[in-house]
Amino acid sequence: MNHKFDLNGLLEEIYQHLLPKVKVESIHPHDPVEVDNLPQPWRLLGRGNYAGVFYHPEYVDIVVKIYAPGRQGFEEEVEVYSRLGEHPAFSQCYYAKPNFLVLKRLPGTTLYDCIQRGMGIPKRVIEDVDEALEYAVSRGLYPHDIHARNVMMYEGRGYVVDISDFLHQETCSKWENFKKAYYWLYRPLLCPLGLRVPYFLLDIIRKGYRAFSSFKKSCHRQWGMLLSFKSQKHFKRFKR
């Protein structure tokens, strides 16, 4: 595809029809954004906690990611794509202006939807994602917030959809936790039986995991503060 030629036509559609009409709103910071007043023939491809992703039927290989007003992360995402360059498991940024990006569209189905539909997820998908995350680290990035909604599968290969938090240096265990569930529960039980997991149950698991993670972090902080306090108290006694 001639990206420059297609991009020029797409930008005209974006500026004249999409941006003046579509409304992307973040109601709760931990839930997907709400999308309203999407003009025809634009289609909604997906919703994340920061932005909505759209495509035009005449440009099916390209998507437009529009950030909700007040949500931060646009500049960081542009920087991440700049560092990543071209890699088969990641998208690529063709154009960026405040609060929206034009990106290469990644094909496939999210692992979240695969689990709901009872679709088999080959081991190769997990390995592809592991290799992609290692590549990101080699480019000076910090893979963050990688979970079943942010990973896609297409023809047995894995793709990382959302890289917007890859500048966050804090430790994130979501992907490692997902892999534990994949190898301990999904492969031996769900996959062989072709069991489907309803969306409402997946949502309960997602919210429960978030609550548990927040509680765990809070406990670690409290424990760290307690140890620090005891250490300072012991040091003062020692000085006496």
CATH of the domain at 100: 3.30.200
Which residues sit opposite 186 in a β-bridge? none
Which of the two residues, 74 and 223, has the higher pLDDT score? 74
- Is there a contact between 39 and 71 (Cβ–Cβ < 8 Å)? no
Query: Which residue, among 148, 150, 236, has the nearest Cα to 199 in the 3D structure?
Result: 148
For 197-221, how does the pLDDT look when each residue is reduced to its tens digit (9 = 90+)? 766 665 655 555 455 455 445 555 5
- Write down the pTM of the prediction: 0.76
Residues of the chain with pLDDT > 70: what percent? 80
CATH code of residue 146: 1.10.510.10
Q: What is the pLDDT of residues 2-19, one digit of tens each?
A: 445 578 899 999 999 999
Q: Are residues 9 and 87 in the same domain?
A: yes
Containing domain of residue 178, as a range? 109-193
pLDDT of the residue at 1: 42
126 part of a folded domain: yes
Asked, for residue 221, whether it belongs to a domain, the answer is no
Domain boundary among 76, 104, 132: 104
Tell me how many domains the chain contains: 2
Please tell me whether residues 85 and 120 are part of one structural domain. no
Q: Is the pLDDT of residue 87 over 60?
A: yes
d(CA 132, CA 124): 12
Mean pLDDT of all residues belonging to the chain? 85
Residue range 38-78, pLDDT digits in tens? 999 999 998 888 899 999 999 999 999 999 998 888 999 99
- For residue 183, being part of any structural domain is answered with yes
97, 119: one domain: no
- Regarding whether 12 and 96 lie in a shared domain, the answer is yes
**Of the residues 174, 193, 212, which one is the last residue of a structural domain?**
193
Q: Are residues 123 and 62 in the same domain?
A: no
Same domain, 31 and 84: yes
Q: Which pLDDT score, from 0 to 100, does residue 2 have?
A: 41
Does 192 have pLDDT greater than 70? yes
In this predicted structure, what is the pLDDT of residue 200? 62
Give 229's pLDDT tier (boundaries 50, 70, 90): low
Are the C-beta atoms of 104 and 90 separated by less than 8 Å?
no
Indicate whether 21 and 99 sit together in one domain.
yes
- One domain, residues 65 and 16: yes
Cα–Cα distance measured from residue 96 to residue 125, given in angstroms and rounded to the nearest whole number: 29
Any domain includes 53:
yes
Q: Each residue of 139-181: pLDDT tens digit?
A: 999 999 899 989 999 999 999 998 989 999 988 899 999 999 8
Q: Domain check: are 56 and 15 in the same one?
A: yes
- CA nearest to 150, candidates 64, 51, 40: 51
My answer on whether 118 and 64 are in the same domain is no
DSSP sequence for 63-78: EEEEEPTT---HHHHH
Task: Kindly state whether residue 229 falls inside one of the protein's structural domains.
Answer: no
